[in-house]
Amino acid sequence: MQIQKLRNIIESIKEKDDGSKVIVAYSGGLDSTVLLHLLVKNRGMFDAQIRAIHINHSLQQPSDGWAEHCRDFCRAIDVPLQVVKLDIKPQAGESMEIAARNARYSVFEENLKDGGFICMAHHANDQVETFFQRLMRGSGVKGLTAIPQTRRLGNGHIFRPLLEVSRNDLHKYAVAYNLNWIEDPSNKHNCHDRNLIRNEIIPQLEQRWPSLSKTIARTVSHCNEAQEILEEVAAADLSDCSEGGLISLQKLSRFSEKRQKNLLRYWIDQRQMLPPEAAMLEDGLANLKSAAEDKNPQLLWEYGVIRRYRGRLYLSGQKEAPQILEREWDLREDLCLSGIGRLYMEKTQKGEVGINPYRIADMQIRVAFRQGGEKCRLYGRNGSHSLKKIFQEQGVPPWQREILPLLYVGENIVCVTNCCYCQPYAEKDNLGGRFYNIKIEWS
């Protein structure tokens, strides 16, 4: 590998180093072996701790042996290694490949809950293969940007510092340092699309066009520029259509159909979700706009759902009602509700109604969910009111009513998250910053 390329890789890592942690996704193959060795060899240039994570998908017979190889290598170079063994069970209609990817990235996201970034060893040849694979699928501009160097994942980032380095250069580096790596026998099986592209199609194209990789890299760069323009337009359109984090269908309909689809893709991407296929998006959007007023249409796909209610679109990664368990909460730290979202507290602004902390002092706060028949005394109103009536008045969507967290003191409702506050615990903050707002960020 050329000295300049090595320097570029190290500099790119240093730019991303936030002083927290650098985790290498280490499969034991050539690419990740070189990346891990390169970082460890230059670890004096980083403030962050370098460690590795190996995902054992348990899909091939020698997978346990591969995990042991990774342990041996990391022990030899003095790098902490976490081995995660998965038991992958695809859901109905889900391929094993997609299920494995989702499980793998869930592990990565869990490791980034306190920030930092995971380095992955995708290289220039992977970029070319991905371009052709997506081209054959009929991908649009975003898909043809192929593999991004950086993207957000949970509270951290995925980073790929080798994207401009060829597989040949990685091989030369490994030989020069006498490194050992795993050869996955499945890479030779051309029944897989990527292997066919790598083993058969690209070599033939390179015989005719030796500069194939550079040419495709230039095309990817053009696609990236075009995608940036599309995202700028979508961001402006989303700002025009947004109403409290939702999309006004009336405002959306002012745009052309192409801009509507571009906006929805951008909206979905901002929530770190993969969008539906083009035909599904087109049909789903048409249904969301044309369904009768008394209907609650939805666009449902593998990674999420868009629902319509009272002229607004709601986006959620949640497709089925999760298992709901009540629990205690001290309000000081965010509370993650599995399959629902993140419950958090923030101080009230001047003039807002919130929970007066003195009225719940030394009391145990309990988070529970609707069972049916609940009533509460709304702040500023006389008498008790049923949650059913409150939900209708406040326009709470039907699918959220059973999973909207309720805060209790004893048997009394203190507040209905994102909806209302109850007597005698609520009060208007005439100064600002004195009381509590309870909110949820949906999954």
Give the per-residue pLDDT at 319. 53
Do residues 258 and 293 share a domain? yes
Q: What percent of the chain has pLDDT over 90?
A: 49
Pairing of strands 21-25, 117-119: parallel
Do residues 267 and 335 share a domain? no
Is position 213 within any domain?
A: no
Q: Which domain holds residue 299?
A: 222-317
How many structural domains is the chain composed of? 3
| Residues forming beta bridges with residue 378, ordered by sequence position | 422
The 3-state secondary structure of 388-434, one letter per residue: HHHHHHHCCCHHHCCCCCEEEECCEEEEECCCEEECCCEEECCCCCC
Is position 276 within any domain?
A: yes
Do residues 286 and 416 share a domain? no
**Mean pLDDT, range 33-45, rounded to an integer:** 88
Give the per-residue pLDDT at 340. 80
Do residues 34 and 14 share a domain? yes
Do residues 272 and 330 share a domain? no
pLDDT for residue 185 is more than 90:
no
Encoded tokens for 94 = 């889900």
Rounded distance between C-alpha atoms, residue 61 and residue 38, angstroms: 29
pLDDT digits (tens, 9 = 90+) for 277-299: 999 999 999 999 999 988 889 99
Do residues 296 and 240 share a domain? yes
- Residue corresponding to tokens 């034991």: 28
Do residues 286 and 336 share a domain? no
**Mean pLDDT, range 365-391, rounded to an integer:** 89
Top-confidence residue, 30 or 441: 30
Do residues 158 and 265 share a domain? no
pLDDT for residue 226 is more than 90:
yes
Is position 216 within any domain?
A: no
pLDDT digits (tens, 9 = 90+) for 211-223: 998 899 999 999 9
**Mean pLDDT, range 189-203, rounded to an integer:** 90
Top-confidence residue, 75 or 149: 75
pLDDT for residue 1 is more than 80:
no
Rounded distance between C-alpha atoms, residue 356 and residue 344, angstroms: 16
Do residues 249 and 293 share a domain? yes
Is position 258 within any domain?
A: yes
pLDDT digits (tens, 9 = 90+) for 307-351: 999 999 999 876 555 666 788 898 888 888 877 888 888 999 999
Pairing of strands 242-243, 81-85: unpaired
Do residues 306 and 343 share a domain? no
Identify the CATH number of the domain in which residue 34 sits: 3.40.50.620
Is position 274 within any domain?
A: yes
The 3-state secondary structure of 159-214, one letter per residue: ECCCCCCCHHHHHHHHHHCCCCCCCCHHHHCCCCHHHHHHHHHHHHHHHHCCCHHH
Is position 45 within any domain?
A: yes
pLDDT for residue 17 is more than 60:
no
